[in-house]
Amino acid sequence: MKALNGKIVVITGGAAGIGREMALAFAREEACLVLLDIDPDQLDATVAELTRNKAAAKGYRCDVSNPEEVGRVAAKILEEFEHVDVLVNNAGIVIGKPAAEVSYEELRRIVDINALGVMWMTRQFLGKMMTRNSGHIVNIASASGLLGVPRQTDYCATKFAVVGYSDALRMEMKKYGCRGVKISCICPSVIDTGMFAGFTPPLLNPLLKPADVACKIVRTVKREKDYLKIPFMVKMIPFFKVLPPSWVDWMVALTGTNNAMDHFVGRRSEVG
């Protein structure tokens, strides 16, 4: 099991929600936290909370959808810390509209944050990780990156992208002899942070507690696991999908997943 004490851990969308909970969980492992978030006030508050609890923490305001800003912030981090041990790509948004009602601007924004933001942020630190043959990329995807959900077409598309990116990146590290660079893809069902306010949990998929999920993510990093899929029913999705699509659609409808987003209101447009 990998020790995390003294390791440099960067978390995007680290000021609130599951990002904040992960920061607290990594802090308990005595890691050095570097939090990135688009909300400077919330970021300052979370960093202050960590430092009050005697954790080493620093925050940088960063919009992960802005490639120039990502590059500048990443350069500052590498200048101060020389390298990053763990990068957690957590920042993301959800829109929650039927596909026919989503604007181009909304599509562009969700792709820039949820998909391109993950890839471009990873690009900033991956080269040095490969040179050192040491590091860990943690991509926060979703159960919606494994199975389509009505009123989440754009969100599912970006999370499917994160799952595919993680799989390809893991295989690429092995191909180029960088087995010391680990890739973990995190696929939880909906976490009760407020981001999915109004969401009705499907059968056998209750809302997950943020602190519990954060602890499981840290454990995944320490054990260097490729995937975390929670709860148990999410682990079963790949097996369901060997069935004919009409059967899968019937099973999804049976669990109530088709109606899960009917009363969605969300929390805010940005979480990172």
3-class secondary structure for 194-240?
A: CCCCCCCCCCCCCCECHHHHHHHHHHHHHCCCCEEEECHHHHHHHHH
Among residues 137, 129, 119, the alpha carbon closest in space to that of 83 is found at 129
Sheet hosting strand 8-12, strand order edge to edge: 57-61, 32-37, 8-12, 86-89, 135-140, 181-188, 227-230
- Nearest Cα residue to 231 out of 203, 259, 252, 254: 203
- Angle subtended at Cα 15 by Cα 164 and Cα 23, rounded to the nearest 5 degrees: 75
Q: Per the residue annotation, which of 155, 165, 176, 227 is the catalytic one?
A: 155
> What beta strand segments (E) does the chain contain?
8-12, 32-37, 57-61, 86-89, 135-140, 181-188, 227-230
- Is 176 annotated as catalytic? no
Q: Are 146 and 237 in contact (CB under 8 A)?
A: yes
Q: Check: CB of residue 19 under 8 Å from CB of residue 35.
A: yes
Active site residues: 155
